[in-house]
């Protein structure tokens, strides 16, 4: 009888424990669902341009990040950096978050539904961002040596854009003595293995254009490299290629082609190219349709004023000119 009661007690204990575990699992699942839905809502708010007030997004993402939601933490890093319109940048928080992601907090290893590859990709991106923070003194004290070290770590993990920026560090001597030969070697490898990496052909073309680590410049090679950059839509490379056509370097001077290339680079986000479009348009005597309409209007206006006609007819002609002028009225 005593043995039977003991067995009954054990069964009851196990049953209660199982129910508790079920409730715990359900709670965990609910938390994960809430984090995912909150993250999806934050992304939708940022993507929808009709939503003007997105001030609640950082707090939403922070709640997801507290639950270990990795995509939310990466998006929060963008938000803190100020890359999202309508949200003030917080460089100190961006730096702290990047440092946490790069160093890999112990609890990050326990987060479920995150693969090792995803965790490694996030860490490499954080290392890359940290290097830029240290280089620019953004959210922290500027430290070229720390920038170089972090960029080396990201490059060693195979992140292409980190290898390109490491080449720039070596070329300019950021945190180290200049080593243009090693920089060129890195860029040449990237040009073959990952040609769409940002700035690869721009950096290479710049080195050949200025003779960095060489006996002298080689403008023809520089132009070919910039042309390769145009094929992969490297905005800075296209801007420099346009400058070569404008100045007649290793190619016949061609203002029209230069202007076309400047416009292409500007459309890809190169701010310097946007300024060059305006400058070259003025220099080459090229005018936009709006400017042309304005000039024609002013000339016609002077003619109308000089004609010996009645005030009524003059007003009619003025109205016709204003309508033809359109937005310039």
Q: Return all residues near 7 (Cβ < 8 A) that are at least 6 apart.
A: none
Which tens digits make up the pLDDT trace of 13-41? 434 444 444 444 444 444 455 888 999 99
- Return d(Cα 163, Cα 96) in angstroms, integer: 23
| Spatial contact of 217 and 240, defined as CB atoms under 8 Å apart | no
Q: What is the pLDDT of residue 286?
A: 46
Instruction: Answer yes or no: is pLDDT of 121 > 70.
Output: yes
Q: Which long-range contacts (CB under 8 A, 24 or more apart) does 241-250 make?
A: 241/205, 242/273, 242/276, 243/276, 244/219, 246/280, 249/219, 249/223, 250/219, 250/220, 250/222, 250/223
Q: What is the pLDDT of residue 18?
A: 43
Which tens digits make up the pLDDT trace of 134-153? 999 999 999 999 999 999 99
Task: Return the percentage of the chain with pLDDT > 70, whole number.
Answer: 77
- Return d(Cα 82, Cα 291) in angstroms, integer: 36
Q: What is the pLDDT of residue 242?
A: 95
To the nearest 10 degrees (0 to 180), the angle between helices 160-172 and 116-136 is: 20
Q: Could you tell me the CA-to-CA distances from 177 to 150, 184, 307 in Å, in that order? A: 17, 15, 74
Q: What is the pLDDT of residue 229?
A: 96
Q: What is the pLDDT of residue 84?
A: 80
Q: Return all residues near 255 (Cβ < 8 A) that are at least 6 apart.
A: 245, 246, 280, 283, 284, 286
Which tens digits make up the pLDDT trace of 207-226? 999 999 888 899 999 999 99
The pLDDT confidence band at residue 316, using thresholds 50, 70 and 90, is confident
**Both tokens assigned to 35:** 């984090």
Mean pLDDT of the chain: 83
Instruction: Answer yes or no: is pLDDT of 117 > 80.
Output: yes
- Return d(Cα 20, Cα 13) in angstroms, integer: 11
Which tens digits make up the pLDDT trace of 82-108? 888 788 999 999 999 999 999 875 445
Q: What is the pLDDT of residue 175?
A: 95
Which tens digits make up the pLDDT trace of 172-195? 999 999 999 999 999 999 999 999
Instruction: Answer yes or no: is pLDDT of 228 > 90.
Output: yes
Mean pLDDT in residue range 216-242 = 95
Domain ranges of the chain: 288-329
Mean pLDDT in residue range 116-140 = 95
Q: What is the pLDDT of residue 181?
A: 94
Q: Which of 223, 224, 226, 205 is nearest to 214 (CA)?
A: 205
Q: What is the pLDDT of residue 282?
A: 73
- Return d(Cα 54, Cα 86) in angstroms, integer: 6
Q: What is the pLDDT of residue 284?
A: 58
Mean pLDDT in residue range 269-276 = 92
Instruction: Answer yes or no: is pLDDT of 203 > 60.
Output: yes
């Amino acid at each position: 009888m005593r043995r039977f009661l003991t067995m009954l007690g054990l069964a009851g204990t196990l049953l209660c424990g199982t129910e508790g575990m079920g409730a715990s699992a359900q709670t965990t699942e609910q938390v994960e669902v809430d984090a995912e839905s909150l993250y999806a809502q934050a992304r939708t708010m940022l993507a929808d341009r009709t939503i003007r007030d997105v001030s609640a997004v950082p707090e939403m993402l922070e709640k997801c990040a507290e639950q270990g939601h990795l995509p939310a933490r990466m998006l929060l890093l963008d938000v803190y950096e100020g890359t999202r319109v309508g949200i003030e940048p917080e460089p100190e928080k961006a730096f702290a978050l990047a440092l946490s992601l790069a160093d890999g907090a112990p609890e990050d290893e326990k987060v479920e539904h995150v693969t090792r590859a995803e965790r490694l990709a996030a860490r490499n991106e954080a290392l890359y961002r940290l290097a830029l923070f240290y280089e620019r003194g953004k959210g922290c004290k500027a430290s070229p040596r720390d920038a170089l070290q972090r960029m080396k770590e990201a490059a060693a993990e195979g992140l292409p854009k980190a290898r390109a920026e490491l080449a720039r560090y070596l070329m300019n001597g950021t945190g180290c003595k200049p080593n243009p030969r090693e920089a060129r070697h890195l860029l040449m490898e990237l040009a073959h293995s990952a040609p769409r990496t940002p700035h690869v052909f721009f950096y290479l073309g710049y080195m050949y254009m200025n003779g960095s680590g060489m006996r002298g410049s080689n403008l023809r090679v520089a132009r070919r490299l910039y042309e390769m950059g145009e094929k992969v839509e490297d905005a800075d490379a296209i801007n420099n290629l346009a400058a070569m056509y404008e100045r007649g370097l290793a190619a016949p001077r061609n203002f029209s082609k230069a202007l076309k290339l400047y416009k292409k680079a500007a459309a890809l986000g190169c701010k310097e190219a946007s300024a060059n479009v305006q400058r070259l348009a003025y220099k080459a005597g090229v005018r936009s349709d709006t400017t042309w309409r304005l000039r024609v209007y002013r000339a016609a206006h002077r003619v109308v004023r000089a004609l010996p006609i009645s005030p009524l007819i003059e007003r009619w002609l003025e109205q016709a000119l204003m309508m033809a002028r359109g937005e310039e009225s």
